Amino acid sequence: MIQRKLTKTITIGNRQVGGQAPILVQSMTKTNTCQIEETISQIKELEAAGCELVRVAVPNKDAARALAEIKKAIQIPLIADIHFDYRLGIMAIEHGADALRLNPGNIGSERSWEAVVVTARERNIPIRVGVNAGSIEKEFAHRDGTDTAEMMVESALKNIALLERLNFYELKLSLKASDPWTTIQAYRLIAQRVDYPLHIGVTEAGPLFSGLIKSSVALGILLAEGIGDTIRVSLSASPVKEVKAAYGILRALGLREKGIEIISCPTCSRCQIDVMTMAERIEEALGQAQTPLKVAIMGCEVNGPGEAREADIGIAGGRGGGLLFRHGQVIAKLSEDELYPALLSEIKKLTN
């Protein structure tokens, strides 16, 4: 069992973050926030996929005003992403944001932080101090002999101290880099220094394939060490894929149980059925399912049903057809054409 680091609990909208609360899955819209209907539509897709927190970019006043309409139409907490102009953070709160993400590398002076804190405290709105390796403050970026992870931690601690001097403690932290190792080191260091909840992720990780590898390596290590209270897999891909990837990482570590987990063999010359196509079809058809379920798709008698005994439901290929089984027990012998529809039907009986 993974022993999570016990952090302070904060509230974002209707969700608890940190402490004993589940590790929450977050994503960010790829839409222009000013395009209200398009943004709402994408958030609803994320909700259906199981997203629990959503962040939207607020680059201007129109985007800040749009939050009011967006907030009315969605169910999950809404986080406003603020850079450069602290006044947009104040506007975002006034128009319904449940939390803010501020980048200390570009948000401005202590006076800027103080102005935002006044409004955040009045409305009980948490703030994420979101340190990015690529936009760290100049006072740290030009310090010789200090590695990037240490500079990120120094930036985070400086800004935490500032907010604490302002008697503001409803904080969440992130220290993201595009390099997995830098990300891991930064989170390890900050976890030793503070007890605020941590949002973990690899920023600018890349397109689906390479980005998922980088994110899985960094986040898997951190989560296994008990670090992380919310998670985002940042991909140059659909945000729904980010959510699916995040749950996949959490499920692989036994930290969350949600949705379909497919166990499928890599195939070889013993394979009797088209495993790859069937696995892809099942994953596509049931990508929105929320019920935890292990589904096995095995190509021959070597890999199933015996080796897939832990699966809730599955198939194993044979000459001209295959077997349908539950928890390792055969329940039907079917032709190859019957395997996919039979498996899909049995899964749907077990999911919502």
Who's near 142: CB < 8 A, 6+ residues apart? none
Using CA atoms, how far apart are residues 147 and 195, in angstroms rounded to an integer? 23
Token pair recorded at residue 240: 């729904």
Query: Residues 127, 170: contact at Cβ < 8 Å?
Result: yes
Q: Which residues contact 294 (CB under 8 A, 6 or more apart)?
A: 261, 263, 310, 311, 312, 313
Identity at 205, one-letter amino acid code: A
Under 8 Å between Cβ of 314 and 299 = no
Q: How far apart are CA 241 and CA 205, in angstroms?
A: 13
The predicted structure's pLDDT at residue 290 = 79
* Rounded Cα gap, residues 189 and 306, in angstroms: 44
Residues of the chain with CATH 3.30.413.10: 260-350
pLDDT in tens, 305-338: 777 778 899 999 888 889 999 888 889 999 989 9
CATH numeric code, 260-350 = 3.30.413.10
Neighbouring C-beta atoms of residue 170, cutoff 10 Å: 18
Q: For the chain, where do the domains classified as CATH 3.20.20.20 start and end?
A: 10-252
| pLDDT at site 144 | 66
Contact 241, 235 (CB under 8 A): yes
Beta-strand ranges (E) seen in 104-153 are: 127-132
**Mean pLDDT of the region 92-121:** 94
Residue 26 has pLDDT above 90, yes or no: yes
Q: What is the DSSP string of 262-324?
A: EEE----TT--S-HHHHHHHHHHHTTT--S-EEEEEESSTTTSSGGGTT-SEEEEEETTEEEE
DSSP secondary structure string for all residues of 153-214 = HHHHHHHHHHHHHTT---EEEEEE-SSHHHHHHHHHHHHTT--S-BEE--TT--SHHHHHHH
The residue with greater pLDDT, 143 or 199, is 199
Tens digit of each residue's pLDDT (9 = 90 or more) over 259-300: 788 889 888 888 888 899 988 998 888 777 778 889 999 988
What single-letter DSSP state applies at residue 236? S
Residue type, 133: A
What value does the mean pLDDT take over residues 71-89?
A: 97
Q: How many Cα atoms occupy the beta-carbon half-sphere of 2 within 13 Å?
A: 22
Q: Is the pLDDT of residue 164 over 80?
A: yes
With a CB cutoff of 8 Å and minimum separation 6, the contacts of 341 are none
What is the distance between the alpha carbons of residues 43 and 3, in angstroms, rounded to a whole number? 32
Decide: 275 and 268 in contact? Cβ < 8 Å. Answer: no
DSSP 1-55: ---PPP---EEETTEEESTTSPPEEEEE--S-TTSHHHHHHHHHHHHHHT--EEE
pTM for this model (two decimals): 0.91
H/E stretch holding 56: strand 53-57
Residue 108's pLDDT band (boundaries 50, 70, 90)?
A: confident
How open is the CA angle 246-251-255, to the nearest 5 degrees?
Answer: 100
pLDDT band, very low/low/confident/very high, at 143 (cuts 50, 70, 90):
low
Task: Return the exposure string of 49-63: e unless at least 16 CB atoms fall within 10 Å of the residue's CB, then b.
Answer: bbbbbbbbbbbeeeb
**197 touches 8 (CB < 8 A):** yes
Q: What is the mean pLDDT of the chain?
A: 92
Q: What class does CATH assign to 10-252?
A: alpha beta
